[in-house]
Amino acid sequence: MKAAILLLSAAALLAACGEPDQTKAAGNTNRADVVPWQGAHNPHVAKGWNPGNQASWENQIRARGQLQNEYIRTGTGNPPAQGGTTQ
């Protein structure tokens, strides 16, 4: 009887050592975020590109970026080619 109680108490004590792994690392954290080129689920998505198509999204972002280039907007100067260079 004593042996059984000792065994049970030892098992109960050692159970505390059985915690799940709480390690956090870049490899297993927040990987669930969906890429932006999948599009937003709201009515504010800009026209001119196809959500779900990465190339379409990248072209949209580059074209939109060129709207910040007043040399293109005003038609003056020597603007770079549309879309810039790609990596």
By CB under 8 A, the residues from 10 to 69 that bind other proteins are: 24-26, 29-42, 44-46, 48-49, 51, 57-58, 60-62, 64-69
From CA 72, how far away is CA 78, in angstroms rounded?
Answer: 8
What is the nearest approach in angstroms of other proteins to the Cβ of residue 18? Answer: 22
- Cα-based angle 26, 30, 36 (whole degrees, multiple of 5): 115
What is the nearest approach in angstroms of other proteins to the Cβ of residue 33? Answer: 5
In order of 13, 22, 75, 77, the CA distances from 19 in angstroms are 12, 8, 66, 66
Q: What amino acid occupies position 3? A: A
What is the nearest approach in angstroms of other proteins to the Cβ of residue 22? Answer: 10
Q: What amino acid occupies position 79? A: P
Regarding 80 and contact with other proteins (CB under 8 A), the answer is: yes
Binding site for other proteins (CB under 8 A): 24-26, 29-42, 44-46, 48-49, 51, 57-58, 60-62, 64-71, 77-80, 83-87
